[in-house]
Amino acid sequence: MTKKKHPGGRPTKMTEAVVEKLQQAFAFGCTDLEACLFADISKDCLYNYQKKYPKFVERKQLLKENPVLQARKSVVNDLEHNPDLALKYLERKKKDEFSLRHEHSHEIVSLEEIVKRLEGVEDGSD
């Protein structure tokens, strides 16, 4: 009967429960630091886990978008019942058509041109 070698070192803190807590925190839009505080682990522990399991990084990024998705869903669902919100939505999504503020393009002028213009003003030729 052969005995399995012990891998050595301290046992990992990254249990299924810790990973679940991290996922919950990321679904709330938490930063890495906030998620680590919530799961009671260090950032190094999280980053080592991510190196070992790169798919988790992708999952984390998707989960962090959850609050944006929830907010978008809430806004869209409320558009029909809230005309002020509907107008704000249109002002932001269809600026060219509904925005109250019009963006102006600014002329780009070289430093030499500015100096020439200023010299013209000083000479009284402008």
Tens digit of each residue's pLDDT (9 = 90 or more) over 61-90 = 999 999 999 999 999 999 999 999 998 898
User: Do 21 and 55 share a structural domain?
Assistant: yes
| Residue 35 sits in the same domain as residue 75 | no
- pLDDT exceeding 70 applies to what percent of the chain? 83
Q: What is the pLDDT of residue 13?
A: 85
**Residues 50 and 37 occupy one common structural domain:** yes
**pLDDT of the residue at 11:** 67
Average pLDDT of the segment spanning 28-48: 96
pLDDT of residue 96: 86
Domain span including residue 30: 16-64
Q: Which of 7, 73, 55, 56 shows the shortest CA–CA distance to 39?
A: 56
Q: Is residue 60 domain-shared with residue 77, that is, in the same domain?
A: no
* Domain count along the chain: 2
Whether residues 20 and 60 share a domain: the answer is yes
Residue 59 pLDDT > 70: yes
Q: What is the pLDDT of residue 119?
A: 83
Contacts of 24 (CB under 8 A, 6+ apart): 38
In a domain? residue 45: yes
pLDDT value for 100: 78
Residue 58 has pLDDT above 80, yes or no: yes
> CA–CA separation, 91 vs 72, rounded Å?
15
pLDDT of residue 120: 78
Q: What mean pLDDT value characterizes the chain?
A: 86
Residue 58 and residue 88 share a domain: no
Q: What is the pLDDT of residue 125?
A: 57
Do residues 71 and 42 share a domain?
no
CA dist list (Å): 71 to 5, 14, 88: 51, 31, 14
Domain identity same for 51 and 72 = no
100: in domain? no
